[in-house]
């Protein structure tokens, strides 16, 4: 259906149970998202995934992380845990945006479309951004007005992606049953920030 997009944020093994930055409930959320997409695919003009795809993200990785600005190694480009979660990969959606190659990148709008994993160097990433291979351009090209956001983690990359979507003028919904925060406390804070920005927080 023209006018509506779904962004599936960072549903990767690195952020699910057993991953480097595993979030409780991550695997269950991945399965629920897959079931939702299977049932509602026809409602969306665009379905896109985002992935942390870190090559050399600088101070974002640390041997002594503070879990606020610095983190253990995670989402390392080319590793199995940086790939899409198997439940999401099986959906065979068309658009994949990889972010954080050489920076932190909490928002999917910082990523570039890279379905082949061939974009590696800093120069190639910059060139892809300048050429418009971005999530913002994909939404614009599809004539989207409404965007639903789901994924991991609600308190971090889901929140930042949803806020950036809102700043671009879209009507934004985050499905609370299709996301999970790092902690309940951070989830409450994230929902407060999103609601204040005018983002609808609903169940799917």
Judge whether residue 84 has pLDDT over 70: yes
Mean pLDDT along residues 47-53: 98
Across the range 193-203, mean pLDDT stands at 98
Catalytic amino acids? 10, 99, 157
Both tokens assigned to 175: 């499905």
Write the CB contacts of 125 (distance below 8 Å, at least 6 apart in sequence). Answer: 101, 102, 112, 119
Per-residue model confidence (pLDDT) at position 143: 94
The C-alpha atoms of residue 193 and residue 160 are separated, in whole angstroms, by 10
Minimum mean pLDDT among 80-94, 119-133, 156-170: which range?
Answer: 119-133
- How far apart are the C-alpha atoms of 120 and 132, rounded to whole Å? 17
Structure tokens at 146: 């409404």
Q: Residue 152: its pLDDT value, please?
A: 98
Query: Average pLDDT for residues 92-104, to the nearest whole number?
Result: 96
Ramachandran class of 10: left when φ > 0, alpha when ψ lies in -120 to 50, beta otherwise? left
Mean pLDDT of the chain: 96
DSSP H or E stretch at residue 155: none
Q: pLDDT (tens digit, 9 = 90+) per residue, 102-134?
A: 999 999 999 999 988 888 999 999 999 999 999
Residue 4 has pLDDT above 70, yes or no: yes
Q: Rounded to two decimals, what is the model's pTM?
A: 0.96
Which of 1-5, 14-18, 65-69, 186-190 is predicted with the least confidence, judged by mean pLDDT?
1-5
């Amino acid at each position: 259906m023209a006018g509506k997009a779904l962004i599936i944020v960072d549903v990767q093994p690195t952020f699910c149970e057993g991953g480097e930055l595993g979030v409780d409930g991550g695997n269950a959320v991945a399965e629920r998202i897959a079931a939702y997409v299977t049932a509602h695919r026809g409602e969306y003009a665009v379905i896109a995934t985002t992935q942390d795809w870190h090559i050399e993200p600088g101070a974002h990785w640390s041997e002594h992380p503070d879990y606020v600005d610095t983190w253990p190694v995670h989402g390392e480009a080319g590793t199995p845990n940086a790939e899409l979660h198997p439940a999401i990969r099986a959906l065979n959606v068309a658009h994949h945006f990889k972010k954080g190659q050489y920076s932190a990148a909490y928002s999917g709008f910082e990523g570039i479309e890279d379905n082949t994993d061939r974009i590696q160097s800093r120069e190639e990433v910059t060139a892809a951004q300048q050429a418009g291979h971005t999530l913002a351009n994909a939404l614009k090209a599809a004539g989207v007005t409404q965007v639903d956001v789901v994924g991991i983690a609600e308190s971090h990359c889901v929140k930042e992606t949803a806020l950036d979507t809102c700043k671009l003028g879209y009507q934004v919904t985050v499905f609370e049953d299709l996301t999970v925060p790092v902690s309940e406390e951070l989830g409450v804070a994230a929902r407060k920030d999103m609601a204040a920005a005018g983002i609808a927080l609903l169940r799917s």
